[in-house]
Amino acid sequence: RSMAQPQVHDTPSKSQLEQVAQAVRDLLHQPEYDDGSAGPVLVRLAWHSAGTYCSATNTGGSNGAGMRYEKEGGDEANAGLQHARAFLEPIKKRFPFITYADLWTLAAVVAVKEMGGPSIKWRGGRTDFTDDNKVPPRGRLPDGSKGADHLRHIFYRMGFNDQEIVALSGAHNLGRCHSDRSGFEGKWVNNPTRFSNTYYKMLLVNDWKKKKLDNGKEQFVYVDEDLAEENEDGEASEEPEELMMLPTDIALIQDLSFRPWVELYAEHKDIFFDHFSKVFAKLLELGIRRDKNGNIVNEENQHDGYKS
Ligand code: DDH
């Protein structure tokens, strides 16, 4: 941005954003945490911050960073995301010019790219709520124990179609389920810190067996002997790796409208990357209206000078 142009005082400059992005890259490697990366839980933080959007009422979405408040942060669907927020807190302290809402969404875009995924268009300018008045009600995020109808109910509310539901679900290439967070257990793919289309390939293995966990939750599991981790002697360890799928993941291969997209993305990684990039960018913009300069024009600030 050239010096001659008027500055929007609360939108960070490009070089400021690059400093933040670099700080996110620097924190991704976390040898003590999960599979060694903060990336997956950062992606989930951005998704849950945005996935509360309701197009009918134009409420929810990533603007506001409402998850800092108990009303939203305490939703059981958000269990565990305090780890993601804690990872980012030192960055927020170091770069106070960025809002939480911008930081959470930017961190996910940086993490996806660093983990080998596509570049995703990101735009800043989100503001943070200063109280919990506009925080969306709980219960707007998907429940993994349900099926295709539930997926459509939740994602159509945000304004997504079937193709976009399947493309978004490819984020389950990353990370894992934790029994002390969602109650589900395990990872979807063998290398959960590398963004890829393996999730779709695994879905089509078609050998998923229902398993009831001790806590009563039902998920699907698959044990691939070829994927079993090798020990130092190059032999498979005693316990081959068990991969998992949620009932909502399995719905993607059972439903006749979802399934062709799973097949396409399993076959063509480049198409998946392209579609994921577009749909994740759309997710992060839900509920955000911008003027022709890209500045955010939301209901709450229409009367304070943004209106022309
Ligand atoms: Fe997810 N997800 N997700 N998910 N998700 C979980 C973990 C991760 C559902 C349920 C769960 C998306 C869609 C769905 C990520 C990204 C995305 C867990 C495990 C559950 C349960 C949480 C835990 O125990 O820690 C359901 C249901 C849906 C759906 O209905 C489609 C989408 C759209 C995304 C996205 O980012 C676009 C990521 C990443 C994780 C791994 C988190 C971690 O800590 O690791």
In the chain, the amino acid numbered 277 is S
**What does residue 29 show for φ and ψ, rounded to 5 degrees?**
-70, 110
- From start to end of the chain, where are the E strands? 176-177, 186-187, 209-212, 218-223, 242-245
Q: Which residue's CA is minimally distant from atom 22 of ligand 1? A: 177
Lining ligand 1 with CB less than 6 A are 40-41, 43-44, 47, 80, 142, 144, 151, 168-169, 171-172, 174-178, 181-182, 184, 246, 248, 280
The class of domain 148-279 in CATH terms is mainly alpha
CATH of domain 14-141+281-306: 1.10.520.10
Whole-Å CA distances, 156 to 52, 120, 277: 12, 22, 19
CA angle 270, 275, 278 (to 5 degrees): 130
Which of 37, 45, 47 to mutate for ligand 1's pocket (most ligand atoms within 8 Å of CB)? 47
Whether 14-141+281-306 and 148-279 share one fold: the answer is no
C-alpha 276 – ligand 1 centre gap (Å): 15
Question: CA torsion 117→189→143→155, rounded to 10°?
Answer: 30
Q: How far is the CA of 48 from the centre of ligand 1 (A)?
A: 9
Active site residues: 48, 188
Domain ranges of the chain: 14-141+281-306, 148-279
Q: How far apart are CA 193 and CA 190, in angstroms?
A: 9
Distance CA 180, CA 50 (A): 23
Identify the three-state secondary structure at position 29.
Answer: strand
Query: What is the three-class DSSP state of 219?
Result: strand
Tens place of pLDDT per residue across the chain (308 aa): 445 544 444 678 889 999 999 999 999 999 999 999 999 999 999 999 999 999 999 999 999 999 999 999 999 999 999 999 999 999 999 999 999 999 999 999 999 999 999 999 999 999 999 999 999 999 999 999 999 999 999 999 999 999 999 999 999 999 999 999 999 999 999 999 999 999 999 999 878 999 999 999 999 999 866 655 555 556 555 556 799 999 999 999 999 999 999 999 999 999 999 999 999 999 999 999 998 888 888 765 433 332 32
Specify whether the CB–CB gap between 259 and 253 falls below 8 A.
Answer: yes
Paired strand residues for 242: 223
Cα-to-centroid distance, 131 and ligand 1 (Å): 27
pTM for this entry: 0.92
Neighbouring C-beta atoms of residue 13, cutoff 10 Å: 12
44 C-alpha to center of ligand 1: Å?
Answer: 6
